[in-house]
Amino acid sequence: MIAAVSPYHSIALSRLSHDLAAAGLDVIHMEFGQPSTGAPAAAIAEAHHVLDTDPMGYWESNALKERIARHYAEAYGVMVGREQVLLTCGASPGLVLALQCLFAPGARVALARPGYVAYRNTLRSLYLEPVELACGPEERFQITAAAMAALDPAPDGLIIASPANPTGTIIPDAELAAIANVCRARGIKVVSDEIYHRLSFGAPAGSMLQHLPDALVVNSFSKYFSMPGWRLGWVVLPEALIDPARARMGSLFLTPPVIAQRAGLVAFDCTAELDDNLATYAANRALLLEALPALGLSRVAPPDGAFYIYADIGHLTSDSRAFCERLLRETGVCTAPGIDFDPVDGGRFMRFSFAVSTPLVEAALARLAPWFAAQQQAVARTAA
């Protein structure tokens, strides 16, 4: 039987937005976690040099793997060997690789609901069973150690993300350690999605490797490094899984693009430029958190990191997919429906990505204010 995979509604809305733009609509893209800034200038310069001088081919950059390994020592105090770092064509293949190395078909893997749509769909594609745990405002939409301890029977695995998509919430370090302890005691294998690390608006997110050295960590150059189109990521593996992972990588994905690896090595130390991007996200976050209550969107998860705001629109609709499409057609602002992230309660949520420029956030808010006011009035008339 072929695995059933749910639609990714945000992609469909994005396709529609491009069609509408081609027909003349001025679209502001707030549907994807895609930085509007490009790669760092020095990384782009290196890419030009590679194009001029390197015929390229199938290749792994040991220098990049060493730099990533050094990052774990510098940022988290965790010692990682170079060969424990496997370079991937972005985080998505990294997630496939991690799950294939850990689980046989039929394994049960826990994850938060709401959570990134591709977790659920990738699990099903690999004939693994998602065990979705409802995480509401009380848990700040995050997995807790208590929830993992209460699962009966224990799942085979856990996918955890901090900062999370769609909410941007970060698991405090003490809770992350408690989750690690529960997973260790119950034999639950952990995949930690850390692609939003270095994008935080307060205390930085901790790595699961600080508490569970056998965890598999997935990361990417798409978010902090502002390089989504370069398709470059990595997985950190325990030593026992290096050979199985390399065998799968070689057969399924070969190597990441040479040009991306060379540019990524340069990008790793462009922190001044990249932290300027973070300052823009922080300003955008502040604008939205101030403006959304005036739009009637007062129930949100204030993001600790990443570049998302997950807002409750249950007083306006129970069909977030149709709601977001109507918003797009009538205002040109493209957003993500909550149904992508939560198949049970997501009909009453939507996600805004503020990875765009500050002027675009301001322009979006100018369009959203009268539109949401009209929705509130329509609901009030219906109730009367």
The percentage of residues in the chain with a pLDDT greater than 70, rounded to a whole number, is: 100
pLDDT category at 277 given cuts 50, 70, 90 is: very high
pLDDT for the residue 2: 84
pLDDT for the residue 36: 87
pLDDT for the residue 7: 86
Which CATH code for domain 41-267?
3.40.640.10
pLDDT for the residue 361: 97
pLDDT for the residue 3: 79
Say if residue 1's pLDDT is above 90. no
The pLDDT tens digits for 292-311 are 999 999 999 889 999 999 99
| Rounded mean pLDDT, 209-224 | 97
The pLDDT tens digits for 117-175 are 999 999 999 999 999 999 999 999 999 999 999 999 999 999 999 999 999 999 999 99
| Rounded mean pLDDT, 73-99 | 96
The pLDDT tens digits for 27-52 are 999 999 889 889 999 999 999 999 99
pLDDT for the residue 16: 97
pLDDT for the residue 103: 97
**Domain ranges within the chain, ordered by starting residue:** 9-37+271-383, 41-267
Neighbours of 195 (CB within 10 A): 26
pLDDT for the residue 308: 97
| Rounded mean pLDDT, 327-349 | 97
pLDDT for the residue 5: 84
| Rounded mean pLDDT, 53-64 | 93
- First-to-last C-alpha distance (Å) of the chain: 50
**357-375 as b/e: b if 16+ CB within 10 A:** eeebbebbbebbeeebeeb
pLDDT for the residue 325: 98
Fold of 9-37+271-383: Aspartate Aminotransferase; domain 2 (3.40.640)
Whole-number mean pLDDT of the chain? 95
pLDDT category at 6 given cuts 50, 70, 90 is: confident
Q: Do domains 9-37+271-383 and 41-267 have the same CATH topology?
A: yes
pLDDT for the residue 213: 96
pLDDT for the residue 189: 98
Say if residue 380's pLDDT is above 90. no
pLDDT for the residue 294: 94
pLDDT for the residue 4: 82
Say if residue 378's pLDDT is above 90. no
Distance CA 119, CA 66 (A): 28
| Rounded mean pLDDT, 217-244 | 96
Say if residue 382's pLDDT is above 90. no
pLDDT category at 221 given cuts 50, 70, 90 is: very high
